[in-house]
Structure 1
Amino acid sequence: MSTQTEYDVEKGDSVRPGKPVIVSRYRGAARINHWITAASLVLLALSGLALFHPSLFFLTGLFGGGQLTRIIHPWIGVILFFSFCGLFVRFWRANLWKRVDGTWLARISDVLRGREERLPEVGKYNAGQKAVFWSMSVLILILITTGIIIWDQYFSAYTTIQQKRWAILIHSIVAILAICVWIVHVYAAIWVRGTISAMTKGTVTGGWAWRHHRMWLRELVAKSTTKQSGGTPLG
């Protein structure tokens, strides 16, 4: 039978006793993967906005001018797509939706007011983090698809003018949505103290894990106890 631990506890997650207790949340490879994705998103947003409207054309100066911006933008998109694929492979299981996530969302007012004692215990990711993950998964897939359609340098012979027009419209709308989701993600990471250091150092304190992801911490402790007892869970 599947257990919660199979989904929420990922390779490398562990608890190290001490004062304070240290919990390993992200391995080095996952953190590098995350920051490549983050950097790609920022560069894509800047270069995309530069091409989006004449009033923002000055942003092309960051990339060496209009022509270079037009050349570089789709290639950054390719990097983003494959980098996010790496994140997807790593994290999709822990982001599967569960019944507790619906309860967490229903109490979103308590989340915004910081009344976490009124929230249900959650695993490695809460409903908000899962919503960001799956939203970006869909949006990036649409962006790469529409981006290929309008990438005339390599694919102009395979699409019609009408298809390109629709692709540009969809690409622009989805790009704005992706930027909005990214802003929410960054704001939440800053708002919840300790979140950013988890993705820079790879660890959090036991107190942080207990407050924000208690179910995940319980699973880690149970897993650690099982190993120490020779494979038999302690009662």
Structure 2
Amino acid sequence: MNDLNKSRLIVRYTASQRINHWIIAITFVLLALSGLALFHPAFFWLSNLFGGGTWTRILHPFVGVLMFLCFAVFAARMWGNNRMTKQDRQWLRQIGDVVNARDEKLPEVGRYNAGQKVLYFALIIFMIVLLISGVVIWRVYFQDYFSVETIRLASLLHALFAFLLICAIIVHIYAGIWVKGSVRAMTRGTVSPGWAWKHHRAWFREVRGKPAVDK
């Protein structure tokens, strides 16, 4: 890529944001694998990746706390760009146009579209429930503070919301691959003006200092 084209690229994520994101991604994979190992005997062989069952039980909650803290920082930094607007609600009502790529019929999208915002808030809920339920079932440190019934309920919620989180991340990965150019944003930090204009036109106008257009 020549220098002229590089100068036209738009910064979507800073280096610190990308590092934070990939730490979350790596810890998520570690938690998914270790969680499956602890969830059912059929998956216990996965514990070999962590040095056996004992080390899996030790490491899983600590990695979970690390992921939650990194996610909390990332979510806080993205909060201002994820508030739902009138255009977002209209975007959701036209989900058929979204699926069928009829972009010309959709309201202009800001830095994140309504689908990304829904996922953002869903992830916050999932993470909070997983943290709280995880603390309850972290018996080495907290077994004396909760009843057996509470621990059982927390175990059920932890498994349920872990499953929901895995599903949400699968959707997130699929969407990132489906929208060509999105992966580059989180690996190199930049997107092309054409990508920004096509997928996030209101954000493009904002970063380029152009007036917004009402639809």
Q: Into which bin does the TM-score normalised by the smaller protein fall?
A: over 0.9
The match for 1:192 is: 179
For 2:142, which of 146, 155, 159 is the aligned residue? 155
The match for 1:212 is: 199
| Residue correspondence of structure 1 range 1-235 to structure 2 within 5 A | 18-19=4-5, 21-222=8-209
Q: Report which of the two has the higher share of helix.
A: 2
Structure 2 unaligned blocks of 5 or more: none
Alpha-carbon deviation of 1:120? 1.1
Amino acid aligned to 1:96: R
Provide the C-alpha distance between the structure 2 equivalents of 1:91 and 1:65, rounded to a whole number of angstroms: 37
Provide the C-alpha distance between the structure 2 equivalents of 1:197 and 1:146, rounded to a whole number of angstroms: 35
Q: 3-state SS of the aligned residue for 2:17? A: helix
* Greater mean deviation of Cα atoms: 53-62 or 212-221: 53-62
Q: For residues 49-87 of structure 1, what are the alpha-carbon distances to aligned partners after superposition, in whole Å with 9 as ceiling and x for unaligned?
A: 111111111111111111111111101100011000111
Alpha-carbon deviation of 1:119? 1.4
Alpha-carbon deviation of 1:114? 1.9
Root-mean-square deviation over aligned CA pairs: 1.5
Provide the C-alpha distance between the structure 2 equivalents of 1:106 and 1:50, rounded to a whole number of angstroms: 40
Q: 3-state SS of the aligned residue for 2:126? A: helix
Percent identity, aligned pairs only, is: 49
Q: 3-state SS of the aligned residue for 1:92? A: helix
Amino acid aligned to 1:111: V
Amino acid aligned to 1:143: L
Question: What TM-score results when the alignment is normalised by the length of structure 2?
Answer: 0.93
Structure 1 segments of 4 or more deviating over 6 A? none
Provide the C-alpha distance between the structure 2 equivalents of 1:54 and 1:125, rounded to a whole number of angstroms: 40
Amino acid aligned to 1:157: D
Provide the C-alpha distance between the structure 2 equivalents of 1:205 and 1:38, rounded to a whole number of angstroms: 24
How many residue pairs get matched? Answer: 208
Provide the C-alpha distance between the structure 1 equivalents of 2:66 and 2:105, rounded to a whole number of angstroms: 41
Provide the C-alpha distance between the structure 2 equivalents of 1:130 and 1:35, rounded to a whole number of angstroms: 19
Question: What TM-score results when the alignment is normalised by the length of structure 1?
Answer: 0.85
Amino acid aligned to 1:69: T
Structure 1 unaligned blocks of 5 or more: 1-16, 226-235
Amino acid aligned to 1:81: F
Provide the C-alpha distance between the structure 2 equivalents of 1:129 and 1:215, rounded to a whole number of angstroms: 15
